[in-house]
Amino acid sequence: MLHKVTKVRNLSSTSFVLRLERNGFYFNPGQCVNIGLRDSGVNREYSSYSGIKDSFLEFLIKEVKGGTVSPALRNVKPGNFVELHGPYGSFTIDPSLVKSSNFVFIGTGTGIAPFHSFIRSYPNLDYKVIIGIRTVEDQYDFKDYDVNRLVCCVSREKWGGYNGRVTNYLETNNIDPTSIFYLCGNKNMIHDVYDLLRRKGVSGNNIFTEAFF
């Protein structure tokens, strides 16, 4: 399916948000799609970033140097078309649990994308985001989150907030084992955090994962 590009919004030297016309495209928050240049035959998978009630589609993309797709997507112009296929995946929230459950979203880098989609889609969501990034530059659209529900762990430079990795933060802070946990991003982080949560008494039935790389 072809979708018209309406905007490319740069967030950092390496990351950007691609906005497309929605054209009636339906997805569940947290699902992903395949995006590629028109008629290129090459695409990559990206998680939803926009909400289900938004009039547009957005995707948070990390530019891979020397990559085939992401650098080209960063250079598309408004009015150009890209190919979109999907949606796919089950990294979603059961809507029946939104009003009765507490959610903890743990991610690294652009792994925050599906969490952004969750929060835009479910305004009354009881959530906490714990995100690991390398530098302060990687704070993607943090204004969209409740500051009291957001923990940012910066690992490669000193700043006024938490210094260290997500795993360091989780090891030294209390975890409510009755919460529902969603892990997204680096597969090594996901493996380590999954094991850590299980040691802290969280049921495997309450942990959902989506590895980006």
Q: Find the mean pLDDT for residues 156-173.
A: 95
Q: What are phi and psi of 147, to 5 degrees?
A: -60, -30
Specify the pairing of strand 102-108 against strand 126-133. Answer: parallel
Residue among 46, 15, 45, 47 nearest 29 (CA): 47
| SS3 state of residue 71 | helix
* Whole-number pLDDT of residue 213: 74
Q: Find the mean pLDDT for residues 80-104.
A: 96
Distances from the Cα of 198 to the Cα of 142, 153, 212, angstroms: 29, 21, 21
In the chain, what's the furthest Cα-to-Cα distance?
51
- Percent of the chain, pLDDT > 90? 97
Positive or negative, the CA dihedral 120, 56, 135, 211 is: positive
CA–CA separation, 37 vs 73, rounded Å? Answer: 7
122 Rama class: left (phi>0) / alpha (psi -120 to 50) / beta: beta
- Percent of the chain, pLDDT > 70? 100
Residue among 113, 159, 168, 116 nearest 136 (CA): 159
Q: What is the pLDDT of residues 98-136, one digit of tens each?
A: 999 999 999 999 999 999 999 999 999 999 999 999 999
Q: Find the mean pLDDT for residues 51-58.
A: 97
* Whole-number pLDDT of residue 24: 94
| pLDDT at 39 exceeding the cut of 90 | no
| pTM of this structure | 0.96
Tell me the one-letter amino acid at 55.
Answer: S
Q: Find the mean pLDDT for residues 34-52.
A: 95
Q: List domains and CATH numbers for the chain.
A: 2-88 (2.40.30.10), 95-211 (3.40.50.80)
Specify the pairing of strand 81-88 against strand 32-37. Answer: antiparallel
Q: Tokens in use for 207? A: 């942990």
Q: Find the mean pLDDT for residues 142-158.
A: 96
Rg (CA), the chain: 17
